[in-house]
Structure 1
Amino acid sequence: MRRLSFSGYIAQLLMQLFLLFFAIACIYPFILAFMASISSEKSILDNGYQLIPSEFSMLAYQAVFKSKYLYTSFGVSILVTVVGTLLSLIICGMAGYAMSIKRVKYRNAVSMFFYIPMVFGAGLLPWYLVITQILHLQNTIWALILPGLVSPFNVFLMRNYFATVPSELIESAEMDGAGVMRTFFGIIIPLSKPIIATITLFIGLAYWNDWASALWFIDNPNLYPLQYMLYRIQAIINLVRQTGAMGDMKVPPETFQIATMFITIGPIILLYPFIQRYFVKGIMIGAVKG
């Protein structure tokens, strides 16, 4: 191995120090916010946010988990995220694979069909009428899944990545008698782990953070996803606080907001380390190649 010169060691050391400080700068806000979430309301009002609070309190988390619908909302969000992500991956993947095969007729026309909604939108009212009056999905779990099932951006990312798979592999599989579905699930999918992981993160985040669909289409509290449930709790607390009718309600508004943030991002933080090694490769190849 080639030995580094003194200037090379200095440059490497400076780069490592820069990355260390950059990592600290990224992590510091999360640590500060978490410490604020377990601080007492009086501590924050008197001293602001501190890495070591003058007074600890779990009242904010107790207020969040006190809601009887919270655990149901957790289940709804998990169900919607898992089912929606799987279905969206299958549909977007099949559409992207079909458009990546050069011998498929009218693939450019199909690509334009997906491209137009990325540029032009019909508006909120027609979309709402289609979901409620034509598909009759209001107050059903599918109202939280179907509206975000197909994303043209994800379709194009997958199409561009699938186009990098050597066509000889597909031709060889077809010569051995493999059909389109066998080729797609047996060859293309195993070779496309980076883009699958990347799109999984995109779709999963979109479903997990979606609260607007519940606002428009759901009236049944048993179908509220986690994000919308916490939104409603926060809105009630803010309304009571503004009207000055807190009374005996022991809910700290400042720390409550931060506690809800950590509850909502917790599952995503646990998921990301498992797919982050594929993320950069998948997004770069999927965006550039094709």
Structure 2
Amino acid sequence: MTLTITRRAPDHEVRRPPRSRRIKEPAVDRTFHVINSCLLALFALSVLYPLVYVFSSSFSSGGAIASGAVKLWPVGFNLDAYGTIFGTASIMTGFANSVFYAVAGALLGTALTVLAGYPLSRPDLPFRRGLLFFILIPTLFSAGIIPSYVVIDKLGLMNTRWAIVLPAAMSVFNVIITRAFYQLTIPKELLEAARMDGASDARFCLQIALPLSKPIIAVNLLFYGIAQWNGWFSSMLYLTDPSKYPLQLILREILALGAVNPADLGSADAAQLERNKELFDKLRYAVIVVAMIPPLIAYPFVQRHFVKGALIGSLK
């Protein structure tokens, strides 16, 4: 009798079955992805290049800006424009005013929007449809600038900070998004369970609904804050005291002062006018960079909640 011993191959020598071949992507899909990627890249460059140009120009010399030598990198690097900004009281006061308007408008607008959006999301609210239609009326009919100016004047808000904060305190668009968010996020079963435990409507709103609404609160804070930070038209209408001007209105004045009148170029002060224009060119780019910093700093902190809240709130 012959005994045959078969040696078992080590694990690393065992032949494994070949992996299943990857499904080949259709040519139409590959073409679509390539074209889509190219279009998105072009769009990103069209948005990114102006920002890079403004940033580089703020660190460049006035002569390089006037001659068009600045393309991508700073030419004649200097910090004169930023030194002028931080040494000018009106610009720093405008920056502080813009921060105040943005923070106050964001807090007040978010509070009013949540107080309006949550009750409208409750199906047991009496006259809910009528109230919703009443809120939607401003989106259908606009009073215009003159009636708004008369209302602000009659209320005694002219040349006050409230004239900037109160008219933009609540946006109907944000109320609709907030209402849809609560309808999709807070189920009625949760309300029924809280009522069985003896919770009142106020307690349910404060202890259950509000902690679950962090995404939509972040969305409202960002929307109202950015709107107030970028706003300047209301300030031009309702404010006459330069100490209350926001940074954007001061930037508008800098842009207006930097324009050279062609009729003045033939005068004896033409060289001085040109030097003033170069100075204002540098200054306006630096002020734009300073105005962009707060939104760029604030957005990463609310980005996660912002994306979630904006998507959920816009589904209905």
Q: TM-score, normalised by structure 2?
A: 0.79
Matched residues in 1 for 2:223 and 2:114: separation?
14
Aligned with 2:101 (options 80, 83, 98): 80
**Counterpart residue type for residue 151 of structure 2:** V
Give the structure 2 partner of residue 153 of structure 1: 173
Give the structure 1 partner of residue 299 of structure 2: 272
Inter-CA distance 46–3: structure 2 relative to 1 (3 Å threshold): farther
Aligned with 2:85 (options 44, 52, 64): 64
- When the two chains are superposed, the root-mean-square deviation of aligned CA atoms in Å is 2.8
Inter-CA distance 59–251: structure 2 relative to 1 (3 Å threshold): farther
Matched residues in 2 for 1:280 and 1:149: separation?
23
C-alpha contact (below 8 Å) 2:63/2:278 kept by paired residues: no
Matched residues in 2 for 1:106 and 1:263: separation?
48
1:136-171 C-alpha deviation (Å, 9 max, x unpaired): 101111111001001111111100111111112222
C-alpha contact (below 8 Å) 2:62/2:281 kept by paired residues: yes
Tell me by how many angstroms 1:266 deviates. 0.9
Give the structure 1 partner of residue 67 of structure 2: 46
Give the structure 2 partner of residue 200 of structure 1: 221
98-107 vs 56-65, greater mean Cα deviation: 56-65
Partner of 2:314, secondary structure, is helix
C-alpha contact (below 8 Å) 1:59/1:251 kept by paired residues: no
Between structure 1 and structure 2, the one with the greater Rg is: 2
Give the structure 1 partner of residue 200 of structure 2: 179
Give the structure 1 partner of residue 53 of structure 2: 32
44-53 vs 187-196, greater mean Cα deviation: 44-53
Matched residues in 1 for 2:87 and 2:191: separation?
55
**Counterpart residue type for residue 301 of structure 2:** F
C-alpha contact (below 8 Å) 1:197/1:282 kept by paired residues: yes
C-alpha contact (below 8 Å) 2:66/2:278 kept by paired residues: no
Give matches, 1:211-250, under 5 Å.
Answer: 211-238=232-259, 243=264, 246=272, 249=276
Identity over aligned pairs, percent? 35
**Counterpart residue type for residue 296 of structure 2:** I
**Counterpart residue type for residue 150 of structure 1:** M
Inter-CA distance 280–63: structure 2 relative to 1 (3 Å threshold): same
168-177 vs 263-272, greater mean Cα deviation: 168-177
C-alpha contact (below 8 Å) 2:59/2:81 kept by paired residues: yes
C-alpha contact (below 8 Å) 1:63/1:251 kept by paired residues: no
Matched residues in 2 for 1:172 and 1:59: separation?
64
C-alpha contact (below 8 Å) 2:69/2:75 kept by paired residues: no
Matched residues in 2 for 1:33 and 1:44: separation?
10
Give matches, 1:124-139, under 5 Å.
Answer: 124-133=145-154, 135-139=155-159
C-alpha contact (below 8 Å) 2:178/2:216 kept by paired residues: yes
Inter-CA distance 7–58: structure 2 relative to 1 (3 Å threshold): farther
C-alpha contact (below 8 Å) 1:34/1:258 kept by paired residues: yes
Inter-CA distance 241–214: structure 2 relative to 1 (3 Å threshold): farther
1:20-47 C-alpha deviation (Å, 9 max, x unpaired): 9469624343223211221112113334
**Counterpart residue type for residue 197 of structure 2:** D
